[in-house]
Amino acid sequence: MQHLLCELARIDALIRREVMRWQSVGQNPNDDFRGLRITDDDAVALSARPFGVSWGQIARLDSKIEDGFTRSLAEAERKIVAASDAARLAGDMPRLERLEATFGLDRFDLDVLLIALAPALDNRYERLYGYLQDDITRRRPSVNLALDLLCGPDADRLRRLPRFADDAPLFAHRLLERIPDSANAKPSPLNYILLPDESIIAWLLGDYRSHPALRAQARLLPPVATATDRLLAMSAWPDIERAAAQPGHWPLLVFHGVNEAGQEAAARQLAAAIHRPLLHVNLPGAINSESSPLIVLNIALRDARLTGAIPFFTGWDSCLADGAPPPTLLAALCAHPDLAIVAGRAGWQARGLARDRQILWIEFAIPDYPHRAELWKHFLGDAPSTDSAVAALASQFYLTAEQIRDSVASAKDRAAQHGSALGPDDLFYAARAHSNPAFNSPWTSLFPTKPTASKFGRLSSRPTCRARPM
């Protein structure tokens, strides 16, 4: 935070110098109609102004005043370096510097970002920007204002224009957004307004807040795994562990299969194993008419780089077309310079893209018998009178880890409904309900009269059914 404040102090010095230059050439900051009218004298002055030069750049301040600003900028630079050194000694890296290193920003890019960021932190910048843009209604900085504050005249301004292109780092990574001036539907490139991403502002201030495109579908999880996670991910863990042993040469991990609880547990266990947070993004919930799959994916990958997290995309099936993801999505994943995981039910083919990055396929199928037995024991815990049923439940019902977990919960609900201790009949009824959706149809009683169970739970009576309402 101290480093950010020192950087903003440097921007303050640039703004104060520009304001004084404007005033020295007769621009009146107290004129309530600035930007709302153009007098004859204004038109003559504008026509005489050289190409690519602002009012401030044609001014010549008194040498003592100019020297004062030179000293102020040098002092700001000294404090920036000191704050950076202090942060590093404390074992951290200033977040602006992390942005610079992660996304390939240069000093000019950082200054543009700070100019755009300032009004979000202090309202006084809005009035200053209105004054320096000769329009009291323009309270956010434009491309032109950034050039006025940071560049010399003529060729220097022109050389900097490519840093505002769509593929330039600030905009390719959505750190800043260029939006048209509301008063002009098709403004010149110089008049586009620069707005910082709100999630970037929050992150610079020490918090993570997901981008509006991700809405509530992104969660940043700490690198913690439980005993349940380790059990759920047991069958897939050897393959994942081998992938985790190759930092710097990460493959793209593709989890597929019906065992979705196992996929999520494996992602949490991997994050805990390499001490990295997990950014869990639910793709079907985030994708809509305004946020395409590519937008959601790119923003999530950016946020993963900001936070040092492993991006984990669930519901990947929603992105498939004709058995494969679009090449643009696959290209974005392959270009991500770190570990990434996509998870879904379907297997798919990677096609339409020349790539060097390997894909590691890890299947999460229905657990085998020994694994199912362990899952039943784990979720039952110390429940009495159920040990003898575990072997039969594991052998008769081919359930996923999630279904086993839910079956135990439903069995406990059923026992409580009847006011009795949990027994084998409750477990077999619940297992049958979760393995066969038709058995638990909307018009079937949730808790019918308890059927009696023969050895290892073969039900001796059918569940009581209610007539479906017409």
pLDDT in tens, 66-79: 788 889 889 999 99
| Distance from C-alpha of 275 to C-alpha of 197, rounded to nearest angstrom | 28
Q: Per CATH, which fold does 369-457 belong to?
A: Helicase, Ruva Protein; domain 3 (1.10.8)
* Contact present, 196 and 176 (Cβ < 8 Å): yes
Q: Among candidates 405, 403, 401, 423, which has minimal Cα distance to 414?
A: 423
How far is residue 401 CA from its own chain's centroid?
28
Taking the complete model, does pTM exceed 0.95, yes or no? no
pLDDT in tens, 277-294: 999 999 999 998 788 999
Q: Which two tokens stand for residue 392?
A: 């039969």
Q: How far apart are the first and last CA of the chain?
A: 65
Integer CA distances (angstroms), 386 to 3, 402, 420, 425, in order: 61, 19, 14, 10
Integer CA distances (angstroms), 215 to 198, 210, 283, 343, 361, in order: 12, 7, 11, 20, 29
Instruction: Report the mean per-residue pLDDT for the chain.
Output: 84
For position 435, what pLDDT does the model report? Answer: 87
Which residues belong to CATH 1.10.8 in the chain? 369-457
For position 456, what pLDDT does the model report? Answer: 41
Which residues belong to CATH 3.40.50 in the chain? 215-363
Q: Which two tokens stand for residue 444?
A: 């079937």
For position 11, what pLDDT does the model report? Answer: 93
- For residues 282, 288, 290, 296, the Cα torsion angle rounded to the nearest 10 degrees is 20
Integer CA distances (angstroms), 153 to 13, 112, 134, 144, 173, in order: 19, 17, 18, 12, 28
Ranges under pLDDT 70 in the chain: 25-61, 182-185, 385-386, 437-470
Q: Per CATH, which fold does 215-363 belong to?
A: Rossmann fold (3.40.50)
Integer CA distances (angstroms), 9 to 2, 105, 160, 204, in order: 11, 20, 23, 16
pLDDT in tens, 391-447: 999 999 999 999 999 999 999 999 999 899 898 899 999 999 998 765 544 334 444
For position 244, what pLDDT does the model report? Answer: 76
| Distance from C-alpha of 102 to C-alpha of 306, rounded to nearest angstrom | 8
